[in-house]
A and B are shown apart, each in its own frame.
Chain A
Amino acid sequence: MTEPLIFELSADGRRGYTLPKLDVPEIDPADHIPSKMLRREIPLPSLSEVDVVRHFTRLSRLNHAVDVGFYPLGSCTMKYNPKVNEDMARLPGFAAIHPYQPEETIQGALALLHNLEHALAEICGMDAFTLQPAAGAHGELTGLLIIKAYHRKKKNARTKTKILIPDAGHGTNPASAAMLGFEVVNLKTSSRGGIDLDDLRAKATPEVAGLMLTNPNTLGLFDENLTEIAKIVHGVDGLLYYDGANLNAIMGWSRPGDMGFDIVHVNLHKTFSTPHGGGGPGSGPVGVKAHLAGFLPSPRISFDGKKFKVTDKHADSIGPVRTFLGSFGVLVRAYTYILTLGAEGLKDASSYAVLNANYMMRRLQKTYKLAYDRTCKHEFVLSGKPFAEKGVKTLDIAKRLLDYGYHAPTVYFPLIVEEAIMIEPTETESKQTMDEFIAVMEKIAAEAMTDPEKVKGAPYNTPVTRLDEALAARKPDINFFKRRP
């Protein structure tokens, strides 16, 4: 099942769009713009509206998605994306406003942003939030800029050169730190799956500017030593940064701010149900404790009891990290979700996410190797190593799952678990769905032992079979107009 490219469907003379007749006297652009700047060729295709609608409808049917079926992709929190959120983001009062309108005409939008900042601050135990960052990695960059600014203000910028990151951390953590010129120091994971405290003590030198940590971590485990970790890092005047990728495990149960974190980012596209959109747009708001509030990106939103305002003069601010006030449409969806669930509903979301993960973990550990055998939070990590003797890799198991109508778990991450299979069911899946998935996982495990070649050749029932990634990288064909012959 393949679909022609949009260019291959084109026929000169077709159009998928009509304009009203030009109702002002037409002038010749060449009289107003130098002719070398006036375009002759436009290499766009020509299609009718029905061509376009059918093409993209057919393409959509080649995708797996949360609306299609179970998506147990660890670390990504593929929970259900409520439909009402989509409607709210499309209300003309939100979708048709311009970022440079006078404040008097956008009081509802500013109120929403203000309320959302406060809700996130309460959920995370922080004092102030910015909604600017466009994604988790962008939130990390923002947080690290704040860490830099904090040390600069104390005139320690030159000596504070290192960022501590656990070896189980997301790849974006070290990449964000390195972008800003920090030296990345990796921390070892203990046998219980938390930070190795001895290793941390040895590496917590005066050069440490901060620590980036996910809790529960990427193994799905809550680090009980947080108080001690915070003490050690604060002891060398380092700041604690909370990567909020796993916040879905602890809402209403525990708050990063109470654990000792100074800065957090949250992923609205994970915890707060905004859709992943095939890879974005996300949103990664950043919260800080009061002592860092002055460093938050400007502009900020304020409320004087009567009117919401956008203020831009903040002496210590790191400056804007993007244009405009944030991915507003995503923020509208997240706010809708928080209104819908309320205090109790948010806690329930975390409770059932953790229940689901533990249930699946205990069922699946009978067939697969469990990396760390203790109560998990919202996700857990298995290893596909037991099937290595048959030459079956984790990747093969992942691909075989596709044949049964599931998205695969996250594989080969975290890097510290061999042949890692990371499963996050989220709270919006039923026992029935999970039982069906578990049965398939067991079936694939049996296939791996009895008919390994079948698993290694998977998938078979998908729109295409396994793709030649080496060819794609060796001879890049990334632009139709310069395609590989």
Chain B
Amino acid sequence: MSSYLPHTQAEVKAMLEAIGVKSIDDLFSEIPAGLRLNRPLDLPDGLSEAEVVDEMNDLAQMNYGANELLCFLGAGIYDHYIPSAINHLLLRGDFFTAYTPYQAEISQGTLQAIYEYQSLLCGLTGMDVSNASMYEAGTALVEALNMAKAQTGRTRVVIPETVHPEYRRVVKTINAQMGIEIVTVPFEDGVTDMAKLAEVVDDSTAAVVAGYPNFFGSVEDLEALANVAHNVGALLVVTADPLSLGLLTAPGDLGADIVCGEGQSLGIPMSFGGPSLGFMACKEALLRKVPGRITGATVDKTGRRGFVLTLQAREQHIRREKAGSNICSNQALMALNATIYMSLLGRDGIRDVANQSFQKAHHLKKELAARVPAVSFPFAAPFMNEFVIKVPNAKRLLLKMAKQGVLGGVALERWFPSLKDHLLVAVTEKRTAEDLDYYCELLGGLTS
């Protein structure tokens, strides 16, 4: 029997007697014979902890990640430094083995942390309201477009190609089955083509979406995008990288109505893309349309401050088929992770991390331009810490770079046939001047 079962034989016997049956099998007797599995599951035998660890180590060692290779990959998931204190706090069993804080009196730790998370997210994004978090960025955008539909009563959304192509695919999978029409707009010089955008936005448009920074790392003119949307009564939905907001103006100050996206950059391990943190924040006017959990401050019977899940009348466990969304969980532990990260960094730290990432990315681009003649740069738009390069034989080059210790970028061809041989290169504060030098040297050597 596994060490997770505490039963002694004597206890089992006493329990069976109390129930009034002879064996555990009797408790399954009402399962009709035809529905019973009459053989053992075809799975390996159980293992001791030491054996499990060995087997898992073998699998883990077949991967070569950011600990072995210099990581210049981004596109939503970034290799930032994660302060040690975070993991120690997340491993407190009182946090990670708790359930949803339905019994508020014995869940104040989780509830207050979510309240702090909501506030920090609102502060960073310049929004009034944040929910307690969503699964990840793609589904957060799905919910944001749903909100826009509910708020405007319109069913068309405009999503430029500069928004992460994976988010757009998720939107196509889900929103398109919810009666939402999706219109795409091309890019020009790495940002949304404003002329083409103006052609398709009209008074049937519920929302215009913008990436900030966008998928190519470029910094879009959010104010101009907001104007296009607001002129026809549509909402501006922004997918943002929250860490970049240490350097970039809050989208709320530039006209965004909803800000959502991927929060992994806030101290969460890359972990092959999940679990991560979808976030969702909006202006006050959209409060009643927000999906998912929200924590609010209140008082107890003696007047002390306390926190509860609130505005639950929006949610599925009350409204069932009339709920605006089916979401029934949040990424509480990942939200806590981000909250601890934002608390440790503070206002100076987040600016420093964003700035160093910006500085190092710009340095790399400048060095590449000066030292590697085979590299060209298709876009001149302003960028944050991620940019696009063109190289000969991009896919083969990436494999060669990996063999020499560098994860050199994300090939864009899989989403953009027109961007064959283009790589998206991300730089974080973790990369040193030496790493950047090596990147240039390697790329120069492999392309000469």
Contact = CB atoms under 8 A, between A and B. Distances in A.
A277 B332 contact: yes
A102 B299 contact: no
A3 to B, nearest CB: 6
The bracket for how many chain B residues form the interface is 35 or more
Interface string A397-412: 0110010000110000
Nearest to A433: B6
A469 B432 contact: no
B333 to A, nearest CB: 3
Interface stretch (A231-239, A447-455, A477-485): A477-485
A303 B271 CA distance: 22
Nearest to B92: A60
Contact of B7 (A16, A319, A352): A352
A140 to B, nearest CB: 7
A341 B67 CA distance: 30
A387 to B, nearest CB: 19
Given A17-B346, A138-B135, A320-B169, A96 B269 contact: yes
Interface in B239-293: 245-250, 254, 262, 269-275, 284, 287, 293
A287 interface: no
Interface stretch (B154-162, B182-190, B320-328): B320-328
Of the listed residues A43, A145, A312, A338, the one surrounded by the most CB atoms of chain B closer than 10 A to its CB is A43
Interface in B411-448: 414, 429, 432-434, 436
Interface string A1-25: 0110111001000111101101111
Contacts of B297: 472, 477-478, 483-484
B350 interface: yes
Q: How large is the interface on A (under 10, 10 to 19, 20 to 34, 35 or more residues)?
A: 35 or more
Nearest to A426: B4
Contacts of B308: 467, 469, 472
Interface in B319-352: 319-323, 325-334, 336, 339-340, 342-352
A314 interface: no
A344 B42 CA distance: 10
Interface string A257-292: 011000000000000010111111111000000000
Interface in B131-176: 132-133, 135-139, 164, 166-167, 169-170, 172-174
A200 interface: no
Contact of B310 (A81, A473, A481): A473
Given A84-B53, A363-B18, A408-B103, A5 B112 contact: yes
A88 interface: yes
B324 to A, nearest CB: 8
B2 A348 contact: yes
Contacts of B76: 323
A354 B29 CA distance: 12
B310 A39 contact: no
B349 A15 contact: yes
A429 B402 CA distance: 48
Given A343-B44, A479-B130, A94 B105 contact: no
Given A92-B60, A320-B170, A362 B98 contact: no
Contacts of B247: 29, 33, 38-39
A104 B332 contact: no
Interface centre among A170, A324, A338, A430 (most CB of B within 10 A): A324
B119 A94 contact: no
Contacts of B57: 91, 93
B246 A39 contact: yes
Contact of B304 (A29, A64, A84, A464): A464
A422 interface: no
Interface string B104-120: 11111110110110111
A171 B317 contact: yes
A478 B294 contact: yes
A277 to B, nearest CB: 3
A37 interface: yes
B353 A253 contact: no
Contacts of B347: 42-46
A87 to B, nearest CB: 8
A99 interface: yes
A122 B402 CA distance: 36
Most A CB contacts (10 A, CB to CB) among B41, B221, B272, B399 go to B272
7 tightest A-B CB contacts, nearest first: A93-B60, A324-B273, A67-B93, A108-B62, A342-B46, A277-B333, A99-B273
Given A259-B35, A482-B128, 18 more contacts: A24-B360, A36-B254, A49-B344, A96-B270, A123-B41, A222-B31, A258-B35, A278-B99, A297-B173, A320-B173, A322-B274, A323-B273, A324-B273, A339-B46, A359-B19, A399-B105, A428-B4, A430-B11
